[in-house]
With several copies, the nearest count.
Chain A
Amino acid sequence: MALTKEQIAQRIAKEVKDGYYVNLGIGIPTLVANFVRDDIEVEFQSENGILGMGPFPFEGEEDPDLINAGKQTITALPGASFFDSALSFSMIRGQHVDLTILGAMEVAQNGDIANWKIPGKMVKGMGGAMDLVASAENIIVAMMHTNRAGASKLLKQCSLPLTGVNCVKKIVTNLAVLEIKEDKFHLLERAPGVTVEEIKKATEGDLIIPTEVPEMSL
């Protein structure tokens, strides 16, 4: 069975290691915070200027001066810090953030990513995504394997305007976990009950399939 969005987040949470500073994009990535083991120390950075981001506030405790990059009201954990946008992107550009998790519309087998613009449609902007993908050493893309029309989002080459080049290393979709190496997708794990054949069919780019493809554990 293909994973739900929650399950994609759950699988990605296993990539979050003790001592990591993590930047979570909007959408599925935001859900990852809910699944991180609570016996490890992790801090979430939001590019609008907080490190040590906590959960949503209790009703009645919302503070307009305390939001995340999705403009949602949040809380600050003990030990948190606030800072300006320039220092925030110093953390990102200076590779002090250990892991960036974000969504994508397309990923190419050379690690290119497109997630900000569809020609002909209203363009909202790249926000911090271009800084994040250009700088992060460790980027995981969280997305559905195919789009609503059923077309693969894992391509030989992106068709949409790019957000960044040669930057994605790992992808977790509703069907599989894949790694990008030497300009190819490498299948690492498949979703429980999903066959290699299904994944192959849903992947337009070159897919390297090892003899053994374990089912992922959540």
Chain B
Amino acid sequence: MITKTVKNVTEACKGVKDGMTFMLGGFGLSGIPENAIAELVRLNVKDVTCISNNAGVDDFGLGLLLQKKQIKKMISSYVGENAEFERQMLSGELEVELIPQGTLAQRARAAQSGIPAFYTPAGYGTEVAEGKESREFNGKMHILEHAFKADFAFVKAWKGDTAGNLIFKGTARNFNPNMCGAANITVAEVEELVPAGSLDPNQIHIPGILVQRIFEGEKYEKRIEQRTVRKR
């Protein structure tokens, strides 16, 4: 098997540069690549474009990069819960491109799949469609959307093996599988790294061919954004 393991997060982020475009998995704070984000903060890489469904909260997730003003542009579907984000956006320091969530997922999957462009009905007739080609299929209007291009994809899985195979857990899966192989280099961090051959090949969600570097994250806070419970 081809080995994808790197020693640690520092080695995993090698080659990261100012001005690059990153894709980051996660929905809210669930399934975000915590260790890679911490390293990007430490590296203080600047002027980056981040493709990520959300932008974290003030003091966690991508909010940490926002605090240090490392992000030039966010491409997201929903950026709700972040005061510093709002400040930077309203002051014009931060460029924000809002796109439909399904389009975000599909543009990632298209990049992974070598599909340069596809048609989707989402956003037709709205400002999302402005400047985009529109076209009728089966009596319904669609707009042309393109595959993402990115330098690095940072994803987080539950388990992984040394060959780069990944298994996700619960709804922490979200965009992570779709971003694997959608950038030049895919960096996967996992809660548990096992030797190749330990995972059932039928249960692997993402084969190692779509992952260039894999490491076991040092620690996971896995913060909960909205703790909702019911009485027993």
Contact = CB atoms under 8 A, between A and B. Distances in A.
A52 interface: yes
Chain A interface size band reads 35 or more
A57 B232 CA distance: 9
A84 B176 contact: yes
Interface stretch (A3-11, A121-129, A142-150, A182-190): A121-129
B171 A126 contact: no
Given A93-B113, A93-B120, A72 B1 contact: no
Contacts of B120: 93, 131, 134
Given A125-B76, A126-B77, A164-B126, A66 B170 contact: yes
B21 interface: no
Contacts of A72: 226-228
Contacts of B111: 94
B204 interface: yes
A134 B169 contact: no
A190 B209 CA distance: 34
Interface residues of B, number: 82
Given A56-B230, A89-B105, A130-B122, A83 B207 contact: yes
A10 B144 CA distance: 39
A71 interface: yes
Contact of B31 (A65, A88, A135, A161): A65
A96 interface: yes
- Please classify the interface of chain A as helix (H, G, I), strand (E, B), loop, or mixed, using the class held by over half of its residues: loop
B27 A49 contact: yes
Given A48-B171, A77-B1, A79-B208, A67 B108 contact: no
B121 A127 contact: no
Contact of A62 (B114, B125, B172, B229): B229
A133 B127 CA distance: 15
Interface in B59-86: 76-81, 86
A59 B196 CA distance: 26
Given A19-B2, A81-B165, A96-B181, A63 B229 contact: no
A35 interface: no
- Please classify the interface of chain B as helix (H, G, I), strand (E, B), loop, or mixed, using the class held by over half of its residues: loop
A93 B122 contact: yes
A128 B128 CA distance: 13
Given A65-B31, A125-B78, A57 B124 contact: no
Interface of B: 1-3, 27-31, 53, 76-81, 86, 89-90, 96, 98-106, 108-109, 111-115, 120-128, 158, 161-163, 165, 168-178, 181, 196-197, 201-202, 204-205, 207-210, 222-232
Given A78-B1, A81-B208, 13 more contacts: A47-B102, A51-B208, A64-B223, A65-B31, A83-B204, A89-B106, A89-B113, A94-B112, A96-B209, A123-B98, A124-B79, A135-B121, A135-B122
29 contacts: A41-B3, A51-B209, A62-B224, A62-B229, A63-B170, A64-B30, A64-B224, A65-B171, A67-B226, A71-B226, A72-B228, A73-B228, A81-B165, A84-B105, A84-B178, A85-B27, A85-B53, A85-B104, A85-B105, A88-B105, A97-B209, A123-B98, A124-B79, A125-B76, A126-B99, A126-B100, A127-B78, A161-B127, A163-B126
